Amino acid sequence: MAGITKAQDINTTAREVDFVTQFQRNWEHLREIMGETRQIRKTPGTVLKSKYASVVLESGAVAEGETIPYSHATVATKDYAAINVEKYAKAVSIEAINEHGYDDAVNRTDEEFRYELQQNVTGRFYTFLNTGTLISAKATFQAALAEAQARVRNKWKGMHRSVTEIVGWCNLMDAYDYLGAANITVQNQFGMNYIEDFLGYKKLFLCSDEEVARGKVLATPANNMILYYVSPGDSDFAKAGLGYTVSGETPLIGYHVDGKYDNATSVSYAIMGLTLMAEYLDGIATVDIGTATFTAVSTSSEGYANKKPDEEGWFEKDSKNDYFPSTDHAVVNAKTYYTRAVTAAA
C-alpha cells in the first residue's frame, strides 16, 4: 500500500543516521583534541591555497610632520588542490548476508567503510604536512621536537600572531625508541594515535611510516589548521533526487542506503568534500633527526638554466643563513641554489 512506512525503511534510516553521526562525532572529537581547527565551507571546484607570509618593519623613529613609512608585508599563495564532492559506494550481496549474518556482512563493513573514508582525509593531510617549509635538522629525537616547536614559535612571532597550542607529529617507532619502557597513555581519535602534554606539545600524534617517515618531526600551531568542506546536504542534490542523510549544523558527510533488487545487493553511498590542511605552509616545521648538509648547485652543470628549482627540491638561503625550499619555477640568474642531504643519527 502506497505511503506506508515499512520496517526496512526504519532500519535503513537508522543505519544512515548512525553512520553519519559516528563520522561527525569522530571529527568533532579530533577537532577538540587538535585545538583551534577552523571549519570553512566552500563551493565545489574552489581552488584551495596555502600561504607564505613575512613582514619587514620600517623604522618607528619618524620626525615630527614627516610621512610614516609603510612596513613591507608580503603574503604569497600557492595552489594546493581544488575541493570537490567525492563519491563512494559499497555493495553487500544477499549471499554474503546469508553466509555471514547481517552484523558481519553489513554493520562491520559499514564500520570499515567509515574508517577508510576517515583515512582518506587524514592521509592527504599527512601528505600536505610533509611539505612544510620550516626546514631544520637536529641530532636527537628530543632535540628535533624542541627545534620544531622553536621554529614554529619564532615564525609566528615574526608574523605578529599569537600561538596558543603547538601540535606535533612524529613516527611512532622514533617515539617508542625514545620512551623505552616509560608508562604513557596513548589515545585514539579519527584513526589517529596521540599522547597529551608531551615535551611542550599539547598533543603529539604518533604516525606510521606512510604518514611520517622515521627520523622526522613535524609541528604547527593548532590555529594554523583548517578543515575546508563542501556540504553534502546541499538542497540542489535533493532536488535532483539524490537525498543523503547528514548530521549536525556543519555536515561533513552524506550517506544513503538502498536495496538493489535487480542484483540482490545492499548498496551504501557516501559523498563528501573534505580537505584538512594548514593556512600557512611556512608555519609548518619539518625537522629531520640527523645532520643536514647543503651543497651549492653548480651553475655549469648540464641543463642548469632549464631546471625548475621547486620541482628539483632545491633550497635557498636567507639573510639569517637559514635554508628554505625554493618556490622558483625557473632558475633566477645570480641566485644560488642548494641541494640538501640528511645523514641519519646513529
Confidence of residue 337 (pLDDT cuts 50, 70, 90): very high
Cell numbers found for residue 269 = 553511498
List, for residues 246-265, the tens digit of each pLDDT value. Answer: 887 778 888 888 888 888 98
Beta bridge partners of 274: 229
Contact 335, 279 (CB under 8 A): no
Confidence of residue 75 (pLDDT cuts 50, 70, 90): low
Q: List phi, psi (to 5°) of 302.
A: -60, 130
* pLDDT score recorded for residue 147: 94
Share of the chain above pLDDT 70, in %: 86
List, for residues 107-148, the tens digit of each pLDDT value. Answer: 788 888 888 888 888 888 888 889 888 999 999 999 999 999
* pLDDT score recorded for residue 10: 38
- ∠ CA 119-234-274, nearest 5°, is 20
List, for residues 293-309, the tens digit of each pLDDT value. Answer: 999 999 988 889 899 99
Whole-angstrom Cα distance, residue 217 to residue 83?
A: 28
Whole-angstrom Cα distance, residue 222 to residue 33?
A: 10
List, for residues 254-293, the tens digit of each pLDDT value. Answer: 888 888 888 898 888 888 888 888 888 888 999 999 989 9
Compute the radius of gyration of the chain from its Cα atoms.
25
User: Is the whole-model pTM more than 0.85?
Assistant: no
What 4-12 contacts at long range (C-beta under 8 Å, 24+ apart), as own/partner pairs, is 8/259, 12/257, 12/258, 12/259
Average pLDDT, the chain: 82
Question: For residue 79, which of 55, 56, 45 has the smallest C-alpha distance?
Answer: 45
pLDDT higher than threshold 60 for residue 53: no
Mean pLDDT over 98-104 rounds to 82
Count other Cβ atoms within 10 Å, centred on residue 277: 23
* pLDDT score recorded for residue 12: 57
Mean pLDDT over 166-185 rounds to 87
pLDDT higher than threshold 70 for residue 74: no
Q: Which residue has the higher pLDDT, 334 or 248?
A: 334
* pLDDT score recorded for residue 295: 93
pLDDT higher than threshold 60 for residue 345: yes
Domain boundaries, the chain: 7-55+76-128+227-275, 297-346
Share of the chain above pLDDT 90, in %: 20
Mean pLDDT over 3-8 rounds to 43
Diameter over CA atoms, the chain: 88
* Identity of the amino acid at 118: Q
Q: Looking at 78-92, 135-149, 191-205, which range is the least confident one?
A: 78-92
* Identity of the amino acid at 150: A
* Identity of the amino acid at 126: Y
Cell numbers found for residue 314 = 632545491
* pLDDT score recorded for residue 2: 46
